[in-house]
Amino acid sequence: MPRNWAGNYEYTAPRIVTASTVDDVRRALAEPGRVRALGTRHSFTDLPDTTGTLVDVTGFAPEFELDEGAGTVTVPAGIRYGVLAVWLHERGWALRNMGSLPHINVGGATATGTHGSGDANPVLSASVRALRYVGADAEVHEVRRGDPDFDALVVGLGAYGIVVSLTLDLVPAFRLRQDLYTGVSWDAALARYDELTAAGYSVSVFSRWEEPSVGFVWVKTRLEADDDAVPDALLDGVRTHGEVSPFVEGDNATEIGGVPGPWLLRLPHFRLDAQPSLGDEIQTEYFVDRALAPAALDAVRALADGLRPLLFWTELRTAAADGLWLSPAYGRDSAIIHFTWYSDRPDDVVAAVARIEAALEPFGARPHWGKVHGFDRAAIERVHPRLADARAVFERLDPDGRFTNAHLERVGVREPR
């Protein structure tokens, strides 16, 4: 059977069909039985799987509809951000933010609350102004921002239908530069956390939890003019000149070293034409209220020696609060703690993840929906105040449970059947 992108999960679905039109999706739903959407397969668990049919939505033609008056673009769900970004840039428009890789598709990223970084930047799902989906009745439905179910459906985990297109907010194209800072100590980072994360439009800390320095701080600065200056110092660290972070393998990173460039070649860490990240890996990530970030980071720091042998890197990012019920940043400005694990000791990773979750429990940490975590329904219920409301919407739209699966029932997004 086919596997996910990272290779750590093999789908058990007896049937996978590729849809390249809305009618293909409707046909798949006209057949009886369970159905789940499959995107670019960048999630790390059984989240997309089903006992019925997986509908791969990445085969739609890259046809986009720009509404310059409204400042929006309507796109097929399965399209990769990187492909959309090139098209938008040619027309003078931009996405406000992107994830670390441009290879992921818009529908799957939206459905799981995928994010980039930046104190003022919410998760990517918050850019959705409207979406169209094929529901359990095999009909096409549309919801727009402001409609009653909208806040339940955007970060919807494929729990009520297959999204076929999304309308996204745009901003005018802009330019950025990327700089790396080294030598920032944990003491300074935790004492002046707000200053650290406000150092740019988007700030990521890459760390292996070593001491005394946090590792690398990767700052993306939005430019009014290409010769805008950036500071030589950040807290007690300094700007490096020209070196690339050792945490990115080979030459797959977008250009660092302070070289100004367009948003689509600077917002993602990885280039669309290269293999991102490690490839053979497992990921885990938690969102905490950013006001609690220093204490939460200290709690993970206490585990560092045990984590490091399994860990490729940690990335620390931020996101602004949003109102999407199942967003990991729902109702709170968030600090985000990410782990990329080597994949050769998956059982040890599960044990390490359990230790991290115990350490972060007092901080109300919410897991990334698409990554490996150990939260069950009760644990999700404690940290997601709108879980029951969202579940009620999914149950109403899909009373026979066509879009449910073991994962969604385990985490309480759907009722057990």
Ligand X SMILES: Cc1cc2nc3c(=O)[nH]c(=O)nc-3n(C[C@H](O)[C@H](O)[C@H](O)COP(=O)(O)OP(=O)(O)OC[C@H]3O[C@@H](n4cnc5c(N)ncnc54)[C@H](O)[C@@H]3O)c2cc1C
Using the minimum distance from each CB to ligand X, give the nearer residue, 237 or 370: 370
Please report whether residue 38 would count as binding ligand X according to CB under 6 A: yes
Give 225's contacts (C-beta < 8 A, 6+ positions apart).
Answer: none
Please report whether residue 108 would count as binding ligand X according to CB under 6 A: yes
Minimum Å gap between C-beta 305 and ligand X is 26
Helix axes 346-360, 293-301, angle to 10 degrees: 140
Minimum Å gap between C-beta 302 and ligand X is 25
The span of 37-45, 59-67, 211-219, 388-396 binding ligand X (CB under 6 A) equals 37-45
User: Is the N-terminal amide bond of 102 cis, ω within 30° of 0?
Assistant: no
Between the CA of residue 44 and those of 53, 223, 245, what are the distances in Å?
19, 35, 25
Hey, which bits of 232-333 come out as E strands? 233-234, 237-239, 261-262, 281-289, 311-319
Please report whether residue 412 would count as binding ligand X according to CB under 6 A: no
The span of 36-44, 258-266, 293-301, 383-391 binding ligand X (CB under 6 A) equals 36-44
Please report whether residue 37 would count as binding ligand X according to CB under 6 A: yes
Type and span of the H or E element at 298: helix 293-301
Residue 189 is encoded by which pair of tokens? Answer: 């980072």
Applying CB under 6 A, which of residues 5, 93, 201, 216 lies at the interface with ligand X?
5
Please report whether residue 265 would count as binding ligand X according to CB under 6 A: no
Give 84's contacts (C-beta < 8 A, 6+ positions apart).
Answer: 62, 64, 73, 75, 95, 106
- Binding track, positions 143-162, relative to ligand X; x by CB under 6 A: --------------xx---x
The answer for 242, left when phi > 0, alpha when psi is -120 to 50, beta otherwise, is left
Applying CB under 6 A, which of residues 82, 99, 118, 122 lies at the interface with ligand X?
99
Task: List, in sequence order, every residue forming a beta bridge with 143; answer none if it has no partner.
Answer: 131
Please report whether residue 39 would count as binding ligand X according to CB under 6 A: yes
Please report whether residue 43 would count as binding ligand X according to CB under 6 A: yes
- In 3D space, the residue among 141, 153, 172, 166 whose CA is nearest the CA of residue 73 turns out to be 166
Applying CB under 6 A, which of residues 115, 132, 239, 414 lies at the interface with ligand X?
115
The span of 42-50, 197-205, 239-247, 357-365 binding ligand X (CB under 6 A) equals 42-50
User: Which residues form the interface with ligand X (CB under 6 A)?
Assistant: 4-6, 36-43, 47-48, 57, 77, 99-101, 104-105, 107-109, 111-112, 114-115, 157-158, 162-163, 276-277, 283, 368, 370
